[in-house]
Amino acid sequence: MELRQIYYVLEIARQKSFRGAANELYITQPALTRQMKAVEDELQVRLFDRDTHGVSLTKDGEKFCERGEEVVRAMDALLESFHQPTEGSRVVINLGVFLFVRQAGILPVINEFFSKNHNVVGNLKIVDNREGEDMLRNRRLDFAILKVADDGMTFSDLEYEKLFSEQLYVLMSRSNKFAGNKAIRPDELGELRILTGGLESHYYTEIKKFFNSSGADFNVAFMNDNEWGTMIDMVRDDVGVLIASDRVCRHFSGDEITFVPLEPKKVITTYLVSSKAPEPGIKRAFRRHVIDALKE
């Protein structure tokens, strides 16, 4: 069992909701559910009862939380004895990121900052552009790293720092009939079955707009919000294709998957986005670290 799993249990108990706890912890609800199943499997008990009214602790859950609070207090005391920041004294940076942040080579930059700053805790959440921008306005995120098409919308109440731009490609199975093409033309786009984000997502809207502007039929194979592994499996099995950036496509390209550029060329830009409110010192340091590492 990991210490973070204890914090997860305690947060679910406080929120009386998996959804509420996931929002506070800045992780997805399915990920939180998997973590709780791992804890329950390890202990061979059930910690929570769930019904239409919410989540409540079982007797074993109450015992776990009682002991878990002791563990947290003991950990704080241990850190304090070595003059290290405790859980309550650490600065938390809440960061929203796009789905393929690891494959785009951005996650090592983020990890480097937190590994060097032990008084800072990072909370990472996968967000769609719309969700990320709303969370920035509501102060539920400090920063978001988002991708915006060259003709996409930005908002004057948020700060957009351009990091880098990339060409968009079609990621597809090598068995796809277009896999050997030098480019995918607008008249060919309509023959492709597309994998997109959820129906209300920014990604779905932008991809649909691109198809409509190209005069191509928008044929959706599947809509998926956060399960990138499932999307890549679908690409590999030629269920559909994915419109993705240069870095992401190069990461997944191999014996079974390839990528073909769009024609005419289309570019997408990665931004570091934040509210326009002044940031405390460590958050300014995080901003500078990301910009210095990633800005073209």
Q: For every residue of the chain, which 3-state class applies, written as one string? A: CCHHHHHHHHHHHHHCCHHHHHHHHCCCHHHHHHHHHHHHHHHCCCCEEEECCEEEECHHHHHHHHHHHHHHHHHHHHHHHCCCCCCCCCEEEEEEECCCCCCCCCHHHHHHHHHHCCCEEEEEEECCHHHHHHHHHCCCCCEEEEEEECCCCCCCCEEEEEEEEEEEEEEEECCCCCCCCCCECHHHHCCCEEEECCCCCHHHHHHHHHHHHHCCCCEEEEECCCCHHHHHHHHHCCCCEEEEEHHHHHHHCCCCEEEEEECCCCEEEEEEEEECCCCCHHHHHHHHHHHHHHCC
Percent of the chain with pLDDT over 70: 94
Structure-block tokens of residue 70: 């002791």
C-alpha distances in Å from residue 254, one per residue of 130, 178, 195, 232, 257:
32, 16, 19, 12, 5
Q: Which of 166, 170, 171 is nearest to 270 (CA)?
A: 166
Set out the domains of the chain in order of their start, with CATH numbers: 3-81 (1.10.10.10), 91-163+269-294 (3.40.190.10), 166-267 (3.40.190.290)
Question: For residues 69 and 238, what is the distance between their CA atoms, to the nearest angstrom?
Answer: 49
Mean pLDDT of 72-99: 77
Mean pLDDT of 124-145: 93
Asked if pLDDT for residue 102 goes beyond 70, the answer is yes
Structure-block tokens of residue 273: 């986005």
pLDDT tens-digit map of 212-251? 888 889 999 998 877 888 999 999 999 999 999 999 999 9
Mean pLDDT of 102-111: 92
Q: What is the pLDDT of residue 52?
A: 76
The chain-wide mean pLDDT, for the chain, equals 89
Mean pLDDT of 254-264: 95
Q: What is the pLDDT of residue 276?
A: 83
Q: What is the pLDDT of residue 134?
A: 94
Question: For residues 204 and 197, what is the distance between their CA atoms, to the nearest angstrom?
Answer: 5
Q: What is the pLDDT of residue 117?
A: 79
CB-based burial of residue 209 (10 Å sphere; 0-12 exposed, 13-18 middle, 19+ buried)? Answer: middle
- At residue 84 the predicted structure's pLDDT band, cuts being 50, 70 and 90, is low
For the chain, how long is the longest CA-to-CA vector?
A: 68
Q: What is the pLDDT of residue 202?
A: 85
Question: Could you tell me the pTM of the whole model?
Answer: 0.70
Least confident of 23-32, 147-156, 242-251, 257-266: 23-32
Instruction: Return phi, psi of residue 61, to 5°.
Output: -65, -40
286 close to 93: Cβ distance less than 8 angstroms: yes
Query: How long, in residues, is the chain?
Result: 296
Question: For residues 111 and 293, what is the distance between their CA atoms, to the nearest angstrom?
Answer: 12
Task: Count other C-beta atoms under 10 Å from residue 23's C-beta.
Answer: 17
Q: What is the pLDDT of residue 83?
A: 62
258 vs 71 pLDDT, higher one: 258
